[in-house]
Structure formats: C-alpha cells, structure tokens
Chains A and B, each alone.
Chain A
Amino acid sequence: MAAIEANPVLAEQEERAATRRWSVGGIALDLLTIVYFIFALFPLVWMLLLSLKTPDQLFTTYFRFTPTLDSYRAVLGLDASGSVPFVRFFINSLIVSFGAVLISLLVGVPAAYAFARYQFKGGESLLFTLLSFRFAPELMVIIPIYVIYQRIGLFDTHLGLIWVYQLITLPLIVWILRSYFQDLTPELEQSALLDGYSRPQAFVKVALPLVKPGMAAAALLAFIFAWNSFIFPFILTGSNAQTVTVGALSFMGGATPRYNLTAAAALIALIPPLLLALSIQRYLVRGLTFGAVKG
C-alpha cells in the first residue's frame, strides 16, 4: 500500500481498476465469471455430493442428506464391499502416466531442440508424422496394436501401456517444446560455445534451464492426457495393468448403478493431476503463454 501511495502511476492504475470494478461493465464481467465458475464447477460439486451419499439416498435426495465416507472406504478397499481393486488401478495409472511422460521428456526434449535449431532433410515431415499420431483416432489403430502386443507379450503390461502412450505424450512434448526453443535466441548458446561449451553442454546448461516453465507445462499436459486415456488401457490391458479410467467404470455394477462409488473413484482419480498442477503452478502461467507467440 505504501508503495502505491509513493508511486503516482501505480496509484492511478489502482484507481482506474477500482472505477472499472464498480462500473456496469465491471459488475457484469464479475457476474459472468461467477456464472462460469458455477457452470464449470457444478459437476464436481455434484460428484462430491454423490460420493457422500448412501445408495438409498442417491435417487431420493438432492442436497439434504446424511453424509458418509462409506463410498470412499469401499473404493479404497477398506470394507468388505470393495470388490474392485481400485488402489491397484490407481497405482497402475501412476506408473504408466509418469513412465510415459518421463520417456517422452527424455526423447522429446532433445528432439524438440533439434527440430528448433537444425534444418535437416525430412525434418518437417518427421514433425508432422509425430503430430499425425494425435490426429489418428485411437480406434483406428487399436486392433493392429492389440495383435502385435499379444504376439510380443506386451498385452496387459505397464511397459506396453507406457510404450503406446508415447502416441499421446511424445507429440505434445515435442511440438510444445519446439516453440519454446524457437523463442530462445540462438545467440545465448553461441555465446556459450564461444566460452568453450560443447553443443550438448550448451543445450543442457544454457537452453534447458531457460525452457523449464515450458517443460513443466508440456509435461503436465502430457500427464493429464495419459492419465485420462481410456481406449488404450481398455483394449490393451486385462486385470493386471488396468488403469483408473477403466476401473472407475467397474463400480457402476450390473444390477443397480452405484453412482456414489463411481463418483468417489473419479474424485480420487482427480487428485494426482490436481496435485501436479498445483505443485508446478508457478511455472504454469509463464509456461503456457511463453511459446504462444511463435508458431
């Protein structure tokens, strides 16, 4: 506050902002924002309510009911009704999603750097081939992959899913990071080379630290896409490597819908991407906009 009072420019900006806030347009904007948040968050609130209800309250109550954590206990296998090994599915999802992102970063970051810095024959084609993995509907390729996985023993394994998830995570990481590397001026690395750095050292010690926000944003996006993948784990796993996206549906049951359990499972499944997003939040805003101005 003292700084604002001491700085007439800041004080003027603050005054203008306050005036805008109480104008008709400002109030309308605030209202629209609130409406949007209600619209966006209501499904989550509804899921939370469902997850706190008992089965007999599911279809007879809306907001007034006696909340219980029984659904969470059942989903986590802490009571006798927990017939679906959700914790195992959860761990599977963590393994394959982190594994897929890690490999994509190991492969994709140098690849993105190379695409940004070097002109080589077939480079653009290669880049678009990578992008085409995102264009192709998963259903189109799933049967050949299924047959191959059966034959080479990757069906229902973590490694198999990590591998196939590269179709999801690698293009994202390469394309996003390429634009970050393009935004870095090459003079920085050239200066490092003049100082006696080798090209790999210039990449690791100069370029890489500068695109950390981009790496965080790209890794988070890749993780979310991998975490939410349904078709690949659905077709390419059995009971062993099944993930939360498939496993959560198992709570629906064949006789009666158990929306309380499905909602609890979905909310638990929300935790890792949410924690990850919060933990790298300081990189995110900068990371998501940093490479946006360069195509």
Chain B
Amino acid sequence: MPRGYRSSLTDTLGRRLSRRRALQAGLGAGAALAMTGMAGLHFPAAAQDSAAADVTGDFDWKRYDGATIKVLLNEHPYSDALKANLQTFQDLTGITVQQDTFPETNYFDKLTVDLQSGQATYDAFMLGAYMVWQYGPPGWLEDMSPWIQNASATNPEYDWEDVLPNLRTSDNWSLVVGEPLGSGGQYALPWGFEANTVSYNAEVFDKLGVKPAETMDELVELAAKLTKDAPGAGYEGMYGIATRGARQWATIHPGFMTQYSREGAKDFELQNDVLVPVMNSDIAVDFTDKWAKMMKQSGPANWTNYYWYEVGTDLGAGKAAMIYDADILAYFQNQPGGSASAGKIAWHTGPKGPDGSLLTNQWIWSLGMNAKSQNKPATWTFLQWATGKDHLRYAALEGNMVDPVRRSIVDDPEFIDKMKGNQNFLETFNAIIDDTKILFTPQPQFFDATTLWAGALQEIYGGADAKQTLDALVEEIQQATE
C-alpha cells in the first residue's frame, strides 16, 4: 500500500519536509508552513479565545468611528466594485479604510510574506478558499464564526444564511488534513465566486447546427466537429475547445476537475486513516487520457501554455468555439466592448457524468481577517459590510461582481434583468449551484500536488502512456510528502 498523507494535523506539520520540497515551495505558503512546522509551533487559531467575545451591547455601525484599518486587495473587478463603494462604508461607520492593491500575478506572494512575518500590516485581505488550507493551520487566519454569531458585533441584517450553503462550507474547515470542509472555523467569508461550466460561441453553434454536449464522449466529438467545420463556415482558424493547460495548479481546478469529478474520479482517498492520492484509479486514467487526447485533437496548438487569460481571450477573439472554464471568464468577454465575440456567448452546464452528475468545482474569492490584527472589531465591521447584502447588491448591479454569493442577489429581479444579455448564464447557474462545491480534498500540499498533476497531464498530452504517467504522479506526490 502506498504511503500517503497522514490525516493527523499534528503529524503532518510535525514531519520534516525534504530539502527538495522546501526548495520547490520557495516563498510560497508551503515553505511558510514548513518553517512553522519545523519551528515546532502549534495552532493558535484553533485554540485562541476570540476577541469577538469582548464586543457586547447593542450593535452600532458607528462604534469604531475614527478607527483606521488596512486592507490588501487583488486587482480584480470585485475589488474595483469595493473601491467604488468604499466611501459608503466610511460614511456609515467613520472607519477609514486604507487599501493596497496588487496585481494577481504576484498577489499571493505579497500576502504570504505579510502573514508569515507576523507583522499584521493588513487587517483584512482577499484570499481563495484553497488558501485556507495553507494559511489556516499556522494560525494566520481569524476564525470568524464567533464574530458572525455575536449579535453585538454583527448587524441584524447580515443574514449569514443568505450566503449560498456550499460557499459557506468551502471556507469552513476543521484544519485537519483530509477532513471534509464544513466543520470547524469559518476562516474566510465568501465574497464572489466562479463556477466552472462550458461557455460557447452561440453564433458558431447555430451556424453549424450543433448543440452543447451532454456527455464527455459527446464533448470530444463536438470539439472535433467544431475544429473540422468551423473554419469552413467562415470562422477561419477557429478550433473546438480551450481549457487551461499550463504546468500550474490552476490547470486542474476548472474544467478538468469538474468533469473529472462528474465522471466519478477523486483526487485522494482516506485509506486506513491515511490520505492516499488516487489520480491513477481506472476511472481517473480513462478520463485523463480522454481529456488530453481531446485537447490534442481539438485544442489550441500551444495548449501547454494556456492560462486563464489565453482561454478567455481565445473565446472572445473568435478563435475558440467553446471553453470549459470559469463562467465569469466568458462573462467578461461577453460584455459590450469586452471582445469581438461580445453578445454572442452562451452558457451550458457542461457534460453530465455517467450517473447524471453535475458536480462542479468552484473558485471563491473570499475575505479573511488577519489573526494578528490589532483592529479586529473595526475589521469585522468592514468585513460584514463588504460581504453584506447592500454592498454585494451594489457590486452585482453597478459593477461586475458575478457570480453573487448571496441567494437574495441571485434572485433579485434587477440582477436577473441585468444578466439577460448573457444567454443561459443564470439558467446554467441555477442548474448547477446545488452541486457546486470545492471538489478537492483539503490538505496543505494542494498547490504542489496539483502542479505535479498538471505536469502529468502535459506528459500524457505529449504522448506518454496515461496509466504509467499517473502511477508515477501518485508515487511522486507520496515521495514529496514523506
């Protein structure tokens, strides 16, 4: 039986990481975690008493009038909407918000350095739900459950239950490696998210008389047909399907992981209390081989260099007939002036699994609080406003903050009206939302494991045997965690 991740948190962090692993991790949170582990530190976040308990009496937006907090933001339409509405918050509370915005390319390096330094330069910050698995165990993130539950600290209209259940769950973790999401602390608040679906150029589909695929085999056939027929139908240079293909963790999490899960495959399994990678199961091998061959046959010529931007811009420029990626990636291309294909893009759930599964993986931009913040009450006041109904409704209607994390906004007639120009966007959203969740197993080596996984996918794309490559991948992941 192959050795795997240990499911005990203490064991995991107490083990020595190999030199190779530490070098691979570099400045990333993996190294930060390793350093924390090697220093023999435990996990204050899990044990600490929350500062939320100190807030008593009636809730008052003006309670922290005069306070100043500092927020770290990523360059993104979500943060654009926040900045556009920030004066509203400052007028409401008297709290000054200083914000630093950095480009996404290096955003997490910046955040990791600050959290690792323990300086608490930033009281609050944007983070993805996957980052909770790395920033949570060292105790860098404030558990916000006590704040949400404290009626003295949280305004009565906050309505936490209005946040879509799977999103709440995604930022909610016990900090125990391999243990499912949905219990333990609320280490971040969902802010905006993206579900991974198929988006396509409806004009091309109409002209060729084809419809979105309902099964994986149909998807392979459809992509091939589009590659073959679209150029002859007036779409010179168009190919069938774009997905991400770079050697990077983000290649795995959108369309690939969504369809992988729908087909019934998993990333890890708990076997005798040990977390074991299973990317080489029969189902996984079959699907991965099929995916790689589809991309070889019907994808872009330089697929192994495809990131988020390339996938989106190829759909927008009319080079890709369809993409299997974040729904909002196509949404941005579909806005007036957004691309040459603006107004022509439509959405579909993507192929169902053999059992009809519509499991969908998601990325969630969330807001977190620094566990070492010296301004926790004022920061919580900001966070509850930024994730509250009023601001998120403003951001969805006036900005481009889709997908909304709150049910009340998804159902808001004005929002529905706004989304009418995006063919089947909301229909697709509503069809998959109950099955949209994080489909990976929570564990701190997530980024390294998925990067290796993307490397294996590239090898198979290059002609390597799928079974042998995925066996080697599993072995490599196991060795990397020894």
Q: Is the CB of B339 within 8 A of A249?
A: no
A41-49, A68-76, A171-179, A250-258 - interface stretch: A250-258
Chain B interface extent, by class: 35 or more
Q: At the interface, yes or no: B422 with Cβ under 8 Å from chain A?
A: no
A114 within 8 A of partner (CB): no
Q: Mark B53-86 against chain A: 1 for CB-CB distance below 8 A, else 0.
A: 0000000000000000010001111111000000
Interface residues of B in 94-131 (CB under 8 A from A): 98-106, 109-110, 113-114, 116-119, 121
Q: Which stretch from B330-338, B375-383, B425-433 is at the chain A interface? A: B330-338
Residue among B75, B76, B116, B339 making CB contact with A143, cutoff 8 Å: B116
User: With an 8 A cutoff between CB atoms, is B389 at the interface?
Assistant: no
Q: Is the CB of A139 within 8 A of B316?
A: no
B317 at the interface (CB under 8 A from A): yes
Whether the pair A254, B74 counts as a contact (CB closer than 8 A) is yes
Contact call B113/A83, Cβ cutoff below 8 A: no
Complex alpha-carbon distance, A143 and B26, angstroms: 12
> A92 → chain B, closest Cβ, in Å?
14
Smallest Cβ-Cβ distance to B333: which chain A residue: A256
- In the complex, what residues of A have CB within 8 A of residue B109's CB? 234-235
* 10 closest residue pairs by CB, A with B: A254-B76, A59-B317, A249-B103, A238-B100, A255-B332, A150-B119, A257-B309, A239-B100, A59-B313, A147-B117
Known interface pairs A56-B337, A147-B119, A150-B119. Does A252 touch B105 (Cβ–Cβ under 8 Å)? yes
CB distance from B333 to the nearest CB of A (A): 7
Q: How far in angstroms is the closest Cβ of chain B from A70? A: 12
Quick one: given A255-B76, A255-B332, are A60 and B317 in contact (CB under 8 Å)?
yes
Cα A196 to Cα B168 in complex, Å, equals 83
Residues A146 and B113 in contact in the complex (CB < 8 Å), given A249-B106, A255-B77 = yes
Q: Give A229-240 as 1s and 0s: 1 = Cβ < 8 Å from B's Cβ atoms.
A: 000001100110
B101 touches A250 (CB 8 A): yes
What separation, in Å, do the CA atoms of A274 and B80 have in the docked complex? 34
Residues of A within 8 A of B190 (CB): none
Chain B, residues 25-43, CB within 8 Å of chain A (1/0): the string is: 0110000000000000000
Q: Determine the distance from Cα of A151 to Cα of B121 in the docked complex, in whole angstroms.
A: 10
User: Does B319 touch A at the CB level, under 8 Å?
Assistant: yes
Residues of A within 8 A of B100 (CB): 238-239
Inter-chain contact B113/A256, CB cutoff 8 Å? no
12 contacts between A and B (CB under 8 A): A59-B313, A59-B316, A139-B26, A246-B102, A249-B105, A252-B75, A252-B103, A254-B75, A254-B79, A255-B76, A256-B313, A257-B309
For residues 305 through 346 of chain B, which have their beta carbon under 8 Å from a beta carbon of chain A?
Answer: 309, 312-314, 316-319, 328, 332-333, 337-340
Report the bound CA distance from A249 to B109 in whole Å.
Answer: 14
| Number of A-B pairs, beta carbon distance below 8 Å | 89
CB neighbours of A151 from chain B (8 A): 119
Residue in contact with B117 in the complex, picked from A146, A234, A246, A254, CB distance below 8 Å? A146
Chain B residues near A227 (CB-CB < 8 A): none
Known: A252-B104, A256-B316. A59 touches B339 (CB 8 A): yes
Asked if A181 is at the interface of the complex by the 8 Å CB criterion, the answer is: no
Q: Is B400 part of the contact surface with A, judged by Cβ < 8 Å?
A: yes
- Say yes or no: A255 contacts B103, CB within 8 Å: no
A residues in contact (CB < 8 Å) with B? 55-56, 58-60, 83, 139, 142-143, 146-147, 150-151, 155, 234-235, 238-239, 246, 249-250, 252-257
- The smallest C-beta distance from B481 to any residue of chain A, in angstroms, reads 24
Best-surrounded residue of B99, B102, B105, B316 (most CB of chain A within 10 A)? B102
Assembly CA distance A185 to B119 (angstroms): 53
Give the shortest distance, in Å, between A206 (CB) and chain B (any CB): 48
Nearest-CB distance from A152 to chain B (Å)? Answer: 12
A150 to B114, CA, bound (A): 10
Q: Is the CB–CB distance between B101 and A256 below 8 Å?
A: no
Residues of A within 8 A of B328 (CB): 255
Residues of B within 8 A of A256 (CB): 309, 312-313, 316, 332-333, 338-339
With A59-B339, A139-B27, A255-B77 as known contacts, state yes or no: A250 contacts B117, CB within 8 Å.
Answer: no
A55, A59, A150, A257: the one contacting B121 at CB < 8 Å is: A150
Complex Cα distance, B72 from A239, in Å, reads: 10
Complex interface: chain B residues within 8 A of A255 (CB): 76-77, 328, 332, 400
Tell me the complex Cα distance, A55–B106, Å: 24
Given contacts A60-B317, A146-B117, A256-B338, A234 and B309 within 8 Å (CB-CB): no
Complex alpha-carbon distance, A148 and B61, angstroms: 35
Besides the contacts A59-B317, A60-B318, what 14 more A-B pairs have beta carbons closer than 8 Å?
A: A55-B337, A56-B339, A58-B313, A59-B313, A60-B317, A139-B26, A146-B114, A234-B102, A235-B113, A238-B121, A252-B75, A252-B309, A255-B76, A256-B316
Q: In the assembled complex, how far is the CB of residue B126 from the closest CB belonging to chain A, in whole angstroms?
A: 10
Determine the distance from Cα of A22 to Cα of B148 in the docked complex, in whole angstroms: 82
From residue B12, how far is it (CB to closest CB) to chain A in Å? 23
Check B313–A257 contact: CB distance below 8 A: yes
CA distance A250 to B119 in the complex (A): 25
CA distance A59 to B332 in the complex (A): 15
Partner of A253, one of B75, B314, B333: B75
Q: How far is the CB of A71 from chain B (nearest CB, A)?
A: 14
- CB-CB < 8 A to B106: which residues of A? 234, 249
Q: How far is the CA of A239 from the CA of B121 in the complex (A)?
A: 13
Q: Is B119 touching A234 in the complex (CB atoms < 8 A)?
A: no
Task: State the CA gap A59–B312 with chains docked (Å).
Answer: 11
State the CA gap A250–B99 with chains docked (Å). Answer: 14
Cα–Cα distance between A238 and B80 once the two chains are bound (Å): 17
Q: Which of A60, A143, A250 contacts B113 (CB 8 A)?
A: A143
- From B80, B110, B309, B338, A83 is in contact (CB under 8 Å) with B80
A58 to B70, CA, bound (A): 36
Of all chain B residues, the one with the shortest Cβ separation from A239 is B100
User: A147: nearest residue on chain B (CB-CB)?
Assistant: B117
Alpha-carbon separation in the docked complex, A151 to B117 (Å): 11
CA distance in complex: A147, B313 (Å): 40
